[in-house]
Chain A
Amino acid sequence: MRSCRKKLRANSSGQLLIVAALAIAVLISSTTIYVYELSKETKSENTYSSINDFIFALKQNTRNTVISSLANVSNGGERSVLANNLNELAQFFRSLTHFGIINLAFTPVNDSNYDAGIWLSWNTSSIGVSSAYANFMAKIQGMTANIALSYAVNITTTITISGYYTKLVGEEKLVNLTCNVYNEEKPALVENMTLFYERLGSWIPVDSSNNLSITDYGNGTYTISFTAAIPSNTVQVSTHVYDLRGIFVLANTTCYEA
């Protein structure tokens, strides 16, 4: 009886070893699969993050192009510059093959204010606006992603100017002005500011001989004062501003005696 049991144990010891080895193999295989799945997940997260970065860069570049175009048009360039520049940018992106085929389409806004995506409002009393506005549709078709996104870029530099004058001796007047500068409705700084006043139908630049004083409050607000001999009862002032992006805007205002 004992010898029979011993014989059975000896016979099945090999089978037990195979079962144990198989169990270890299953454990190793499942570990391998788990590690593989985990790495696949990490890889897909990285790809997604790269595409996110790429989309951000795409938007940044369209924004830069609209700024460049507005700077050009506000300095006397043709309105068609916006479309030309955006076409050039779209060609650049088409040449990239990182994520597949990149197609950037755009439509410059045309409405009561905008013509070919450009709005220059420099005649309105006390407010000057230089703006460019375009809608974009970007399509990225590739192995890792198939994305279509639409967005709009509106670049606007606005200035407001208001003021009054006080009489000095004779025709001499002291003019006090407050100018506010905005980029996309947020306070912004200027690169350069030039003032003109109207005397006998012609615009005369204000310079140091007019005791010109400009105070920059660092929050987009500037106070300006100057003196000038102006015979009329009102003082017409024209403010020409270049913002830090090189976009030009001007606004005229009429100052009355305080």
Chain B
Amino acid sequence: MNCKNRGQIRIIEAFLAVFIIFSSLAVSANLTVTQNKTKRDDLASVGLQALMRLDSDGSLGNYIDCGDWASLRNAINVILPSGVSFNLTVYNKQMQQVNNAVISNGAFNSQEITFVEYICASQGSIFHCYIIHLYLAVAT
């Protein structure tokens, strides 16, 4: 009888051990997902704030109105932290691409790409409104 009970307890112990191992695995997996999500949210916030900063004095709309893509690229490059790659596309109301040059500081090396959508109303006397798509990634 004793030997029989001991065997059952060993099985229960084994199950508990498996449960404990899987629990710890679940905890570490959850931690990783949370950290990645936070990084992406931070990068999106950085991108949005960079566009808002450019837009605060009407520069963003002015660059687009004038088609000065080189200055727009340089301005974003200066505002974004170093090590952040970006690719920006400007669309009009009909979602047709406005920029006829690539506005980017290089290819994305990272798998984690963040997307920011921003509406930009220009301050020029002829009103134009643009939709800006900004893709960001931390260079690895």
Contact = CB atoms under 8 A, between A and B. Distances in A.
B94 to A, nearest CB: 11
A77 B37 CA distance: 48
A29 interface: yes
A203 interface: no
Interface residues of A, number: 51
B24 A28 contact: yes
Most B Cβ at <10 Å: residue of A38, A53, A62, A88: A53
A151 to B, nearest CB: 16
Nearest to B60: A64
Contact of A35 (B30, B45, B93, B129): B30
Contacts, number: 139
Interface stretch (A68-76, A159-167, A210-218): A68-76
Nearest to B61: A64
B131 interface: yes
Interface in B56-86: 56, 58, 61
Contacts of B38: 42-43, 46
A80 interface: no
Given A31-B27, A57-B118, A68-B123, A89 B13 contact: no
User: By CB atoms of chain B within 10 A, which of A15, A17, A81, A98 has the most?
Assistant: A17
B14 to A, nearest CB: 10
B125 A71 contact: yes
B26 A32 contact: yes
A57 B48 contact: yes
Nearest to B1: A11
A60 interface: yes
B98 interface: no
Nearest to B6: A14
B126 interface: yes
Contact of B45 (A15, A32, A50, A72): A50
13 contacts: A10-B2, A11-B2, A14-B10, A17-B16, A18-B13, A32-B27, A43-B37, A43-B41, A46-B38, A49-B45, A53-B52, A81-B127, A245-B58
Nearest 4 interchain pairs by C-beta = A14-B9, A21-B16, A39-B34, A71-B125
Interface of B: 2, 5-6, 8-10, 12-13, 16-17, 19-20, 23-24, 26-27, 30-31, 33-34, 37-38, 41-42, 44-45, 48-49, 51-52, 55-56, 58, 61, 93, 117-127, 129, 131
Interface of A: 7, 10-11, 13-15, 17-18, 21-22, 24-25, 28-29, 31-32, 35-36, 38-39, 42-43, 46, 49-50, 53-54, 56-57, 60-62, 64-65, 67-69, 71-72, 75, 77, 81, 85, 88-89, 92-93, 96, 98, 245-246
